[in-house]
Homo-oligomer: A and B are copies of this chain.
């Protein structure tokens, strides 16, 4: 059985280079069950080696891994998946704190996956403080997108702490995809797992299909200029240190904040949860860039991948779209910053909602197209960026999950920096928390941990300004 890669999946192979690695990952810390023996993870490995069946897509590998650009590239089944390769044990050096965990997963995220095998790895990391452990799960985006990977991972976890039998995610047959899988909370700007590179693939398809790209681009820009200031056009993003070339090393930082606290702010500001995520991102970026003396005078522009049902579709199928939103980093007052963001996303979503699906695709493609050029090393940092940072918000499970009695503490997404986009902010919601993952190039985004710290500090400031201001 060979399955040809979609143009979208192929895109991730084109992007793969020594510095740009097109894999996504999750960092998932667990608190073990009180009755877990100390050799719990070691025993798990023995169990795995005893031979689990590996189901699709986790048993699929590329047909011609030495010719990544092969237009006939397809997925073929690996008869005997080497689980000893794919499932690995690691350990933290002392003291096994969050810092050491961050160092290890940053390092793991900076290594390529082997495209001669099914391109995924599960690392079981022991040696965390208080007997805890963590998963680092990595999957190449050509095999499965981050949202689907998160969904699949979740099927290998249980809401029941007493469920000790459930196989790991790769041992569970894939369920056919629900035909009507629109985002549940009606928040158009929630990512639903649509990532920046997927958008690039859509753009590529679009460029192949349309002969009138240049004219359409002019129309979008003209419309943007004629319209409200709240509608961000591709010409407005300032030059910023975040839009430079990247190296192969990564840094990763996390922050988890209460969904309830974010929702309270959103309600008061007449915005969405996602608007508050943008406001917190804007706040930490403002502080971070100010500190470096690198804050552009014009506000930073974020690109938000969106999953939105177009008005001419009755059901089924998500359109992959993008909107640009201001992060209002030129404004010092947190409440005013949030208000500016709410106005910006509201206007952008209204714009999308009035469009047909092909028009959304065309529009999104044009918004983000110039950033494709940035992915070419020689142009990165020389072109003016279309946007400064990609911010995704992926909804996840609302109730706590367990792995054989061990409680999943949080679920932090790790995404894909590319040339010209050295920082990615992705959030997963899980069990009442918004889990922020800041994934950046080690060299282009120094002291990345500070972003996470400043993001946490921005929440009480925003609460004070909006709720008690």
Chain A positions near chain B (C-beta within 8 angstroms): 18-19, 38-39, 41-42, 66, 85, 88-95, 100, 103, 107, 111-112, 114-117, 124, 126-127, 247-249, 377, 442-443
**Contacting A93 at CB < 8 Å: which of B89, B114, B116?**
B89
**B93 pairs with A42, CB closer than 8 A:** yes
**Contacting A126 at CB < 8 Å: which of B89, B93, B247, B249?**
B93
**B41 pairs with A93, CB closer than 8 A:** yes
Q: How far apart are the CA atoms of A107 and B66 in the complex, in Å?
A: 21
Known: A42-B93, A91-B91, A116-B247. 7 other contacts (CB 8 A): A18-B112, A19-B116, A41-B93, A42-B95, A88-B107, A91-B92, A117-B247
Which residue of B is nearest A85, CB measured? Answer: B249
Cβ distance A114 to chain B, nearest Cβ, rounded Å:
5
**B116 pairs with A42, CB closer than 8 A:** no
Cβ distance A229 to chain B, nearest Cβ, rounded Å:
40
Cβ distance A95 to chain B, nearest Cβ, rounded Å:
8
- Secondary structure class of chain A's binding surface, majority of residues: loop
Chosen A-B contacts, 28 in total, with CB atoms closer than 8 Å, are A18-B115, A38-B94, A39-B94, A41-B93, A42-B93, A42-B94, A66-B377, A85-B249, A85-B442, A89-B100, A89-B103, A90-B91, A90-B93, A91-B94, A91-B127, A93-B126, A93-B127, A94-B126, A111-B111, A112-B112, A112-B248, A114-B247, A114-B248, A114-B249, A116-B247, A116-B248, A116-B443, A127-B127
Q: How far apart are the CA atoms of A42 and B96 in the complex, in Å?
A: 11
Q: How far apart are the CA atoms of A377 and B91 in the complex, in Å?
A: 35
Residues of B within 8 A of A41 (CB): 93
Copies held by the complex = 2
Q: How far apart are the CA atoms of A111 and B109 in the complex, in Å?
A: 12
Cβ distance A313 to chain B, nearest Cβ, rounded Å:
41
Q: How far apart are the CA atoms of A131 and B91 in the complex, in Å?
A: 15
Residues of B within 8 A of A91 (CB): 90-94, 127
Q: How far apart are the CA atoms of A113 and B111 in the complex, in Å?
A: 10
Cβ distance A117 to chain B, nearest Cβ, rounded Å:
8
Which residue of B is nearest A89, CB measured? Answer: B93
Residues of B within 8 A of A42 (CB): 93-95
Which residue of B is nearest A38, CB measured? Answer: B94
Residues of B within 8 A of A248 (CB): 112, 114, 116
Residues of B within 8 A of A377 (CB): 66
Cβ distance A433 to chain B, nearest Cβ, rounded Å:
28
Q: How far apart are the CA atoms of A19 and B89 in the complex, in Å?
A: 23
Q: How far apart are the CA atoms of A100 and B127 in the complex, in Å?
A: 15
Residues of B within 8 A of A89 (CB): 93, 100, 103
Q: How far apart are the CA atoms of A102 and B427 in the complex, in Å?
A: 37
Cβ distance A54 to chain B, nearest Cβ, rounded Å:
17
Q: How far apart are the CA atoms of A442 and B116 in the complex, in Å?
A: 12
Cβ distance A70 to chain B, nearest Cβ, rounded Å:
14
Residues of B within 8 A of A124 (CB): 93
Of the listed residues A93, A107, A116, A249, the one surrounded by the most CB atoms of chain B closer than 10 A to its CB is: A93
Cβ distance A110 to chain B, nearest Cβ, rounded Å:
8
Residues of B within 8 A of A85 (CB): 249, 442
Q: How far apart are the CA atoms of A121 and B218 in the complex, in Å?
A: 50
